[in-house]
Amino acid sequence: MKFVSTRNAKLELSGSEAIVKGISDDGGLFVPSSFPKIDSALMQQLLEMSYEERAAKILSMYLDDFSYEELLEYTTRAYSRFDGDPAPVVKIEDGLFMLELWHGPTCAFKDMALTLLPYLLVASKLKLGKKEKTLILVATSGDTGKAALEGFKDVDGTEIIVFYPGTGVSAMQRKQMVTQEGNNVHVAGIVGNFDDAQTSVKKIFNDSEVKEYLASKGVAMSSANSINFGRLAPQIAYYISSYLDLVNSGEIKMGDKVNFVVPTGNFGNILAGYYAERMGLPVNKLIIASNANNILTDFFNTGIYDVNRDFYKTASPSMDILVSSNLERFIFEILGRDSEKVKSLYDSLKATGKFEIDQKLLDDSIFVAGWADEEETKDAINTFFDIDDYIMDTHTAVGASVYNDYSCELEDETPTIIVSTASPYKFAPDVLAAIGGKEKDPFKALSKLQNATALECPENLLFLKDKEEKHTLVIDRTETKQAVYDFINK
Ligand SMILES: *Cc1c(COP(=O)(O)O)cnc(C)c1O
221 CA to middle of ligand 1, Å? Answer: 23
Rounded CA gap, 93 and 95, in Å? 6
Report d(CA 121, CA 156) in Å as an integer.
11
Q: 273 CB under 6 A from ligand 1?
A: no
Q: Which residues pair with 356 in a beta bridge?
A: 304
- Does 110 qualify as catalytic in the annotation? yes
Distance CA 302, CA 310 (A): 18
CB of 269 closer than 6 A to ligand 1? Answer: yes
Residue 379's CB is within 10 A of a number of other CB atoms, namely: 17
pLDDT of residue 215: 95
pLDDT digits (tens, 9 = 90+) for 400-420: 999 999 999 988 999 999 999
The rounded radius of gyration (Å) of the Cα atoms in the chain is 21
Question: Residue 353: how many CA atoms within 13 Å on its side-chain side?
Answer: 9
- For residue 44, the model assigns a pLDDT of 97
Per-residue confidence (pLDDT) for residue 202, from 0 to 100: 85
CA distance 93 to 259: 15
Mutation test residue for ligand 1: of 109, 140, 267, the one with most atoms within 8 Å of CB: 109
From the candidates 57, 110, 175, 426, give the one annotated as an active-site residue: 110
Ranges of residues in the chain with a pLDDT under 70 are none
Residue type, 177: M
Nearest alpha carbon, ligand 1 atom 8:
266
The preferred substitution site among 269, 419, 425 for testing ligand 1, maximizing ligand atoms within 8 Å of CB, is: 269
Percentage of residues in the chain having pLDDT higher than 90: 89
Could you tell me if the CB of 52 is within 6 A of ligand 1? no
Question: Phi and psi of 184, rounded to 5°?
Answer: -120, 25
Beta-strand ranges (E) seen in 246-366 are: 258-263, 283-290, 304-306, 354-356
Torsion angles phi and psi, residue 163, rounded to 5:
-110, 125
- φ, ψ of residue 354 in degrees (nearest 5): -155, 145
Length of the chain: 490
Q: Give the pLDDT confidence of 344-372 residue by residue, as tens digits.
A: 999 999 999 999 999 999 999 999 999 99
Which of ligand 1's atoms lies nearest the C-alpha of 110?
15
Spatial CA neighbour of 102 closest among 47, 147, 163, 139: 147
The pLDDT of residue 187 is 97
395 lines ligand 1 (CB under 6 A): yes
SS3 406: helix
User: Of 222, 217, 262, nearest to 239 (Cα)?
Assistant: 262
Q: Give φ, ψ of 368 to 5 degrees.
A: -130, 145
For ligand 1, atom 7, the nearest C-alpha belongs to 268
Complete DSSP assignment for 310-329: -----S-GGG--SS-TTHHH
Q: Is 32 in the pocket of ligand 1 (CB under 6 A)?
A: no
Which of 30, 32, 272, 225 lies closest to 114 in space, CA to CA?
A: 225
Is residue 34 packed enough to be buried (19+ CB in 10 Å), middle (13-18) or exposed (0-12)?
Answer: exposed
Our answer on whether the CB atom of 226 is closer than 6 Å to any ligand 1 atom is yes
Q: 52-80 burial, b for 16+ CB within 10 Å, e for fewer?
A: bbbbbbbbbbbbebbeeebbbbbbeebbe
List b or e across 180-202, with b for residues whose CB sees 16 or more CB atoms inside 10 angstroms: beeebbbbbbbebbbbbbbebbb
Closest CA to 426 of 98, 160, 177: 177
Does residue 71 have its Cβ closer than 6 Å to ligand 1? Answer: no
Find the helix or strand (DSSP H, E) in which 203 lies.
helix 194-205
Does ligand 1 come within 6 angstroms of the Cβ of 320?
no
Give the pLDDT confidence score for residue 205 in this predicted structure. Answer: 86
What pLDDT is recorded for position 337?
97
Q: What is the pTM of this model?
A: 0.95
Distance CA 175, CA 442 (A): 10
Which atom of ligand 1 is closest in space to residue 264's alpha carbon? 9
d(CA 29, CA 173): 28
CA of 213 to the centre of ligand 1 (A): 33
* Residue 246, pLDDT score: 98
